Chains A and B, each alone.
Chain A
Amino acid sequence: MKSAVVVFPGINREHDMARALKFVSGKEPAMVWHADRELPKGTDLVVLPGGFSYGDYLRCGAIAARAPIMDAVRAHAAKGGLVLAVCNGFQIACEAGLLPGVLMRNARLKFICREVYLRIERSDTPFTRRYNAGDVIRVPVAHGEGNYIADEETIARLEDEGRVLFRYTTPDGKLDPAFNFNGATHAIAGILSEQRNVLGLMPHPENHVDPVVGPTDGRRLFESLISTLEAA
């Protein structure tokens, strides 16, 4: 798997992501500067990592979404290339038009940094083929703006087309407002693009891949990507 991690000013999770990619795939990702206009030749997976690009000025992800590299990322996505957008990366992907909707301020206005439970809604995607639908995984979140919203029509479309991939649930996979900690519409934690090759999610699966730091529930997401690319 040839991956490229896009580095924007103010991003701080790019090393976690690079480490996870190397740990699971054995291959070092390319680090691509936001001002570049091209991705390395043969890139299979583009990652928009977490952090605080441009200090969250204007709106989270708004300025990074207009960076020169984003045309290449959009072109990669348009021809079916895989894009994984995590946390600030998800905000950037929404602002860049790669995914619908927007991430608003958490409903209770607090920055939330802790582990949460995610239910995997389907396993027939490039990102989740190593999980089973209905599996509940434990992964960390760290964000102040993760409250996913979109207009009613868009939400209905995401649901009808099965593009909600992760939801915040209880440890046994039940929807419960107390576990939808940021107030996201329909407890949405992660969504797919129409072609299902772009995933945006607020939690950080890259932080749970190595038993040295605890649970490894995020590891299968990366294994899914590897097996998707091997099967292609």
Chain B
Amino acid sequence: MKARVTVTLKAGILDPQGKAIEGALKSLGIAGVASVRQGKIFDIEIEGADRAKAESALKLAAEKLLANMVIENYRVELL
């Protein structure tokens, strides 16, 4: 089973990398960019077909390692 965990910075956490990307997009002349926040995507293959089990394993993975809960949020999707 394929899954995706998306990790993003919490609102209010300054994201200097996102700001730099935003500046670069603006300097490329790409119109309409209001702001950019950078995050991470983890594509994960889960063994077995039990969706509930997969979801709880992915939540554990996100909270124990993939995201730093001080500054980041995460979202788990089973694809």
Closest-by-CB residue of A relative to B66 is A58
A27 at the A/B interface (Cβ < 8 Å)?
A: no
With known contacts A58-B65, A149-B14, A101–B70 Cβ distance under 8 A:
yes
The verdict on B30 contacting chain A, using a C-beta distance below 8 Å, is no
Q: For B16, what are the chain A residues with a Cβ–Cβ distance below 8 Å?
A: 104-109, 147
Which residue on A lies nearest to B13, using beta carbons?
A149
Q: Quick check: A109 and B65 within 8 Å, CB to CB?
A: no
Interface residues of B in 1-59 (CB under 8 A from A): 13-14, 16-17, 20
Please report the number of residue pairs spanning A and B whose Cβ atoms sit closer than 8 angstroms. 34
B contact residues, total (Cβ < 8 Å): 11
User: In the complex, are the beta carbons of B70 and A62 less than 8 A apart?
Assistant: no
Measured in the bound complex, the distance between the Cα atoms of B17 and A104 in whole Å is 10
A104 touches B68 (CB 8 A): no
Instruction: Give CA–CA (A147, B16) in the complex, Å.
Output: 11
- Please, which residues of chain A bring their CB within 8 A of the CB of B68? 59, 62, 95, 102
- Distance from A105 Cβ to chain B, minimum over Cβ atoms (Å): 5
- In the bound complex, residues from chain B placing their C-beta under 8 Å from that of A109 are 16-17, 20
The answer to whether B60 has its CB under 8 Å from any CB of chain A is no
Residue in A107, A108, A149 whose CB lies within 8 Å of B71: A149
Which chain A residue shows the least CB distance to B40? A58
**Residue with the highest number of chain B CB atoms closer than 10 Å, among A94, A102, A108:** A102
Of B64, B65, B66, B71, the contact of A102 (CB 8 Å cutoff): B71
Known: A58-B65, A62-B65, A109-B20. A151 touches B14 (CB 8 A): no
A37 interface contact, C-beta 8 A: no
Q: Which residue of A lies closest to B12 (CB)?
A: A151
Give the shortest distance, in Å, between B27 (CB) and chain A (any CB): 15
Residue-wise, chain A 112-134 has the 8 Å CB interface mask toward B (1 for contact) of 00000000000000000000000
Contacts of A142 in B (CB 8 A): none
CB–CB A151/B70 < 8 A: yes
Q: From A150, which residue of chain B is reached at the shortest CB distance?
A: B70
26 A-B pairs with CB atoms under 8 Å apart are A58-B65, A58-B66, A62-B65, A63-B65, A66-B64, A66-B65, A94-B70, A95-B68, A101-B70, A102-B70, A102-B71, A104-B13, A104-B14, A104-B16, A105-B17, A106-B16, A107-B16, A108-B16, A109-B16, A109-B17, A109-B20, A149-B13, A149-B14, A149-B71, A150-B70, A151-B70
Query: Which residues of chain A have a CB within 8 Å of any CB of chain B?
Result: 58-59, 62-63, 66, 94-95, 100-102, 104-109, 147, 149-151
